Amino acid sequence: MSTIAPQFRLSRFIASLFDIIFWVLLIFSLVGLPIVFIILFYIKLPIINGQLMTPYLALTWIADPSQTVPIIKSLIHTTFFHVVAFPGFGFAALLSAATIYVERKFLAKIQLRVGPLYCGRIEGILQLMGDGLKLISKEIIIPAKADKPIFWIGPLLFVGTAGAFVSLIPVAPGWVVANPTVSLLAVFATIGFFPIISVLTAWAANNKWTFIGGLRALHQMIAFEIPLILSLLSVVILTGTLNLSQIVQSQQHYWWIVFAPISAIVFFICILAELERIPFDLPEAESEIVAGWLTEFSGMMYGLIQLGTYLKLYAFAGLFTVLFLGGWNGPMVWPPLSPELITHGITIGPVNVQIAGLPLFSQPMLNGTLMFVIKTVGVILLILLPRGVFPRIRIDMLLHTGWYKLIGLAFVNIFIALGLLYAGVLGPGGLIQ
């Protein structure tokens, strides 16, 4: 039995094309334009030829594309852009997605097996998109006896807390979402929510495996948060500040890992435990408790927790870079920008465009971002490496390591930092500036 293939008709194709165009224009008019107007009312618009651009005049870029550049320049200096795109959630989510792909290929190379390869022709690069679509399309199953409100809100709280952590990491000079005077204390306060969220979510699932995993996560995070905080006190003593941006500025000539190597090692080990990475993955030990406190999550709820986990991974790697590796400091490799572009704005044909009171992208900003990304990616690869070579340790060994060994090592570097400070080697008026 043969089947007849449907014939192609140009009239149907043109009709469907016009149908798509009609619906796109309708949705843009009813939804897109109001959103654009709301955004334009909250951003600082540029001055063009001596006239301040208004939200209504801003839409003239449709007829005059030369005005698109200054409007975009105004948008990137808004708090909304910093939070959503760069250096906030969007930038961190992009690096997190790349980390997921690199981790799978990286571990496959280490263990001599095939990583993601069959989805897409270029080293399985489209596997990320396929996995994302799979998580979005899967059904979300809620256990019958679960505490549903807490079970639903748990992944959202996890992602939100990870996003708050990301907002405190300075990427380049002046490019940070939140820059309080005591931003390092804000980091400690933020990461303190993770064990609470983990144990609450595990309890809400009403499953013995999730609850055991939640208790393990609680014990593990509390045991390693104390040496984590103590390991950073040596940097605070040497810099005399709790502001992360000022800590980066203090490393223009040398990195603090040179004078606080023990603190850096302790902090790195604590990062592995806080992220529940091998060899400290006891809260999710699949060979013992199925998947630990993540056992009952499915679909996009599981995807949200994975997103929060990798956001947290990026934030901890960025924090290590900021505290011990000089942050955005590094050799100037970015080519210099035109002085007229930086100080006088952009000239497009007969139109001179200036951003009122706002600097354009500068060479230090671009170079700082490049240096920060290179260092952070290097730290991320070091965090991923133990998963391919180390086994899981027992919980008694884990707690003994956190409560005894790491706390002692953290105090050693605190005493070294105090010795360098009072001996006049470092600090204000020290031998090494």
pLDDT tens per residue, range 346-355:
444 444 444 4
Distance CA 146, CA 133 (A): 26
According to the model, what pLDDT value does residue 34 have? 78
pLDDT-wise least confident of 32-46, 88-102, 193-207, 267-281: 32-46
> 380 pLDDT band (50/70/90 cuts)?
very high
> 371 pLDDT band (50/70/90 cuts)?
very high
Helix axes 261-274, 407-422, angle to 10 degrees: 150
> 374 pLDDT band (50/70/90 cuts)?
very high
Full-model pTM: 0.80
321-362 residue pLDDT tens:
999 998 898 888 877 755 544 444 444 444 444 444 444 567
Q: Does 233 score more than 50 pLDDT?
A: yes
According to the model, what pLDDT value does residue 306 have? 85
Domain boundaries, the chain: 84-105+139-422
Burial class from Cβ neighbours inside 10 Å (0-12, 13-18, 19+) for residue 372 reads buried
29-88 residue pLDDT tens:
888 777 777 776 766 666 666 666 666 666 665 556 556 666 667 677 777 788 888 888
Give, for 116, the enclosing helix (H) or strand (E).
none
Distance CA 322, CA 328 (A): 8
According to the model, what pLDDT value does residue 342 have? 46
Q: Does 372 score more than 90 pLDDT?
A: yes
Question: CA-CA-CA-CA torsion for 240, 236, 161, 311, nearest 10 degrees?
Answer: 110
Distance CA 77, CA 86 (A): 10
Burial class from Cβ neighbours inside 10 Å (0-12, 13-18, 19+) for residue 27 reads exposed
User: Which amino acid would we find at residue 16?
Assistant: S
What rounded mean pLDDT belongs to the chain? 79
pLDDT-wise least confident of 274-288, 304-318, 369-383, 407-421: 274-288
